[in-house]
Amino acid sequence: MGHFKRFTNDLALKEIPLLGHKFTWSNQQHSPALVRLDRVLCSVDWEEKFPNCLLQSMASNDSDHCPLLLGLRDNKDGRRRFHFEAFWPKLEGFQEAVSVAWNSVAAGPCPFITLDLKFKAVCKGLQSWSDKKVGHINSQLVLAREILHQLEIAQDLYARHRKRKIFIGKTVAGDQIYTNHADKVSIIDGFYNSLLGTSVGRDNTVDLTELGLDTHDLAELDLPFTAEEVWRTIEQLPPDKAPGPNGFMGRFYKSCWSMIKDDVMAAVSDLNLQKSNVLPIRCGDTELITIQSLLPCAVSDFPCKYLGLPLSLKKLTKAQIQPIVDKIAD
């Protein structure tokens, strides 16, 4: 904790005030212990850049921590982001809605563009199908979360009136009882130091090349991906997490694999590592040699371009950003 405080002092970080909850953690007991554990810090430059920022508390039905929402500016109305609902595959008509939307896009010369267009078509199709089939369930969920949020605020107010504090009044070591704060800190630190131990620096290291380990034939890594390998990967996906930014969770890929299999495999089969580049971050010479031996593609360095946008570990220069600005201006 001392190191963290010095770190915040050195960077001149300040805490953003929290509106709503006074406490951000509860042990969820009948007579709960409420503590302020979660905080948001910012620098002076950041505060000057976002002077109207607002930190608010939210309700949570999954965690004993209170989620914090940091708003930088007023929200503007725009296109709603697609979110795949976990209960959709259980509803009647789901498979038919996906099939109609997926097959509405004809295959094109580029399998990646085709796959992207098919996912976008499914997004629109499922949103339209959900509005007709499910109705305004999202509004009901928002209302339920708001009620839960108000109940948690009421719990905060009750805890403030109790003025309850978690305090260790005394510590027993052997036959002695200690009430002085410094003595209690020393005893507790000594207990955990003896329990966890301390790290010791090593004078010698092991050279793995001298162990005479058997080498392995990795030629199979160059073989094309098979449908069975892709399916095994999909089976290992978390059902309620999206592996990409399009919002489709692992549950979608598992329930609709028979419909999307051919188009996904067409895109996977079109991958060409010979036309790809690897951009390692903080890798030494040994790691670079390992990467070059495993991947049949060129190893380059930052800055690079992705979809026409420059990417770099450092702040980009005006000359690197200017072409993008010119395109936007045109």
- C-alpha torsion sign, points 174, 2, 24, 154: positive
My answer on whether 169 and 259 are in the same domain is yes
Domain identity same for 35 and 134: no
* Residues 67 and 93 occupy one common structural domain: no
The total number of structural domains that make up the chain: 3
**Residues 161, 107 share a domain:** yes
Cα gap 159→151, rounded to integer Å: 12
Residue 223 within a domain:
no
Same domain, 190 and 316: no
pLDDT along the chain (330 residues), means of 10: 79 81 75 80 82 79 80 58 84 92 90 90 89 70 76 71 65 87 88 79 76 74 81 89 81 92 87 68 77 72 67 70 72
Residue 296 lies in a domain: yes
Largest CA distance in the chain: 82
Q: What is the pLDDT of residue 2?
A: 75
Residues 87 and 183 both lie in one domain: yes
Summarize pLDDT for 22-74 with one digit per residue, the tens. 777 777 777 777 777 888 888 877 877 887 888 887 777 678 788 888 887 65
> What is the extent of the structural domain holding 297?
275-330
Q: In the chain, what is the straight-line distance between the N-terminal and C-terminal CA atoms, in Å?
A: 52
Same domain as 251, residue 130: yes
Residue 100 pLDDT:
93
Number of Cβ within 10 Å of residue 189's Cβ equals 10
> CA-to-CA distance for 133 and 88, rounded, in angstroms?
10
What is the model's pLDDT at position 262? 92
Q: Do 64 and 12 share a structural domain?
A: yes
Choose the final residue of a domain: 227, 256, 271.
271
Peptide bond into 303 cis (omega under 30): yes
159 belongs to a structural domain:
yes
Residue at 319 is within a domain:
yes
| 52 within some domain | yes
Of 78, 95, 120, the last residue of a domain is 78
Residues 90 and 162 in one domain: yes
Q: How far apart are CA 271 and CA 108, in angstroms?
A: 16
Asked if residue 189 and residue 146 are part of one domain, the reply reads yes
Same domain, 59 and 142: no
pLDDT of residue 96: 93
Q: Is residue 221 part of a domain?
A: no
Residues ≥6 apart with Cβ < 8 Å to 224:
269
* Residue 211 domain flag: no
pTM as predicted = 0.43
Q: Quick check: is 213 in a domain?
A: no
Strands (E), the chain: 14-15, 18-19, 25-26, 34-35, 41-42, 54-57, 68-71, 171-173, 176-178, 277-278, 298-299, 304-306, 309-311
pLDDT of residue 14: 83
Say what the pLDDT of residue 163 is: 52
> 78, 113, 133 — which closes off a domain?
78
Asked if 134 and 244 sit in the same domain, the reply is: yes
In this predicted structure, what is the pLDDT of residue 101? Answer: 93
